[in-house]
Amino acid sequence: MRTYNTPPIPASEITPKALFLARRKFMQTLGSGALGALMPAALWAGEKLADVKKSAYTVPEELTPYKAVTGYNNFYEFGTGKEDPAANAGSLKTRPWTVAVEGEVHKPAVFDIDQILKMASLEERIYRMRCVEAWSMVVPWVGFSLAELIKRVEPTGNAKFVEFISLHDPEQMPGQRSSVLNWPYKEGLRMDEAMHPLTLLTVGLYGEVLPNQNGAPVRIVVPWKYGYKSAKSIVKIRFLETQPVSSWTEANPSEYGFYSNVNPEADNFRWSQAKERRIGDFFKRPTLLFNGYADEVAPLYAGMDLKKYY
C-alpha cells in the first residue's frame, strides 16, 4: 500500500516552523498584497507542496520511513557520516536559489527556484533508490521529469551529455573545507538518459519541500543508477558535446564509471553489488539489474557491453 503517516516534526524544528508560519500569517494579514506576494509559495523545509499528482512512474513497495529517508544520508558537503547531513545541513540557505542552464542549448537560462516549481505539474513518484554501499530505500519523491526543463532550453544538435553541478560554498557547506572530493560535486548523464521520463527533477519528498539533507531546494533523481549519480542542491546544468567527468570518477575511476547503472553482477567494486539491505529490513535481498527498472531503461543500453561501460 502507498499510504503513509504524516512525518513527525523533529522537536528542534517546531519552534522555528511555528514562528515562520506565524510570520507568514502576519505578512498575509497586512493585506497589502504586495508583501504577501513576496512570500514564496513554499519556503520552509517540511512545508506541504500543493497540487501534487500521483504518477504512473511509481513502485508498489513499502515506503522507507520518513525518519530514515531524512536521517540516513550521503551528502559529503555536510560530512561523511550518515547522520552528518541531518545534523549539519541547517546551514544551507535554499532561498534565493537559481539554476543556470548553459552550454549546447539555443535558449540558455537562469531559472529561479520559484520558476522551476511552476514549470510543470508536480508528481509524487515512489522510487527504489540503491546506494553503492549496498543499502536501499523506497522514497516518495516529488518533482517532474527533467525532460520538461530540457525541452525549454532547446538543446542544439551538439548536445550529447548533460552535467549537473552542485553548490560550491564552504561557508554554508562545512564538508567542503576538506578535500574528500573535488568540489563542487559534479555528475552527468547521456542525453537520452537525461531525457528519459524516469529521470526526475526533484523538489520534495513525502509531499513536502525537500529537507536540506536530501538536496534542497532541487536535485536530480535517477532511480536505475547508484545513488551518487543523483546530484543534490544543483546550481548548474550544462549541455556538452563530450562526456563530463564526475566527482566520484575523479576520485576513483576504476570503481565509479560514468554509467553507474545498478548491476548485481558489477565486479568493479571492492565489495559485491549482488545483494542489498533495504533500510529497516533484517535480511538482505537480491539487487535487481537496473534497480528493477530494466523494462523501462534497458533499451537505452541495447548492444552496449555493461561491464565495459560501468
Residue 196 site contact among Mo ion, ligand MTE, none (CB < 5 to 8 Å, cut-off depends on kind): none
Our finding on whether 69 is near Mo ion (CB under 5 A) is no
> Taking the complex as a whole, how short is the minimal distance between the CB of residue 37 and Mo ion, in angstroms?
40
Q: Is 74 in the site for Mo ion (CB under 5 A)?
A: yes
Q: What are the residue ranges of helices labelled H in 139-285? A: 146-153, 191-195, 247-251
Rounded CA gap, 133 and 73, in Å? 12
Distance CA(46)–CA(214), nearest Å, equals: 12
Is residue 141 at the binding interface for ligand MTE, with CB under 6 A as the rule?
Answer: no
Contacting range for Mo ion; rule: CB under 5 A; set: 79-87, 221-229, 237-245, 248-256: 221-229
Cell of 4: 503513509
Sort 54 into a burial class: Cβ within 10 Å, 0-12 / 13-18 / 19+: exposed
Residues 42-81 that bind ligand MTE (CB under 6 A): 73-77
Residues 266-295 touching ligand MTE, rule: CB under 6 A, are: none
- As given in the structure block, the three cell numbers for residue 204 are 520534495
Interactions with Mo ion, residue window 119-158 (CB under 5 A)? 131
The site partner of 185 among Mo ion, ligand MTE, none (C-beta below 5 to 8 Å per kind) is ligand MTE
Among 79, 217, 223, 227, binds ligand MTE (CB under 6 A): 227
Q: Is 230 in the site for ligand MTE (CB under 6 A)?
A: yes
Closest CA to 202 of 86, 132, 117, 115: 117
CB-count exposure of residue 285 (10 Å: 0-12, 13-18, 19+)? exposed
Q: Interface with Mo ion by CB under 5 A: which residues?
A: 74, 131, 227-228
Q: Interface with ligand MTE by CB under 6 A: which residues?
A: 73-77, 129, 131, 166, 185, 214-215, 227-228, 230-233
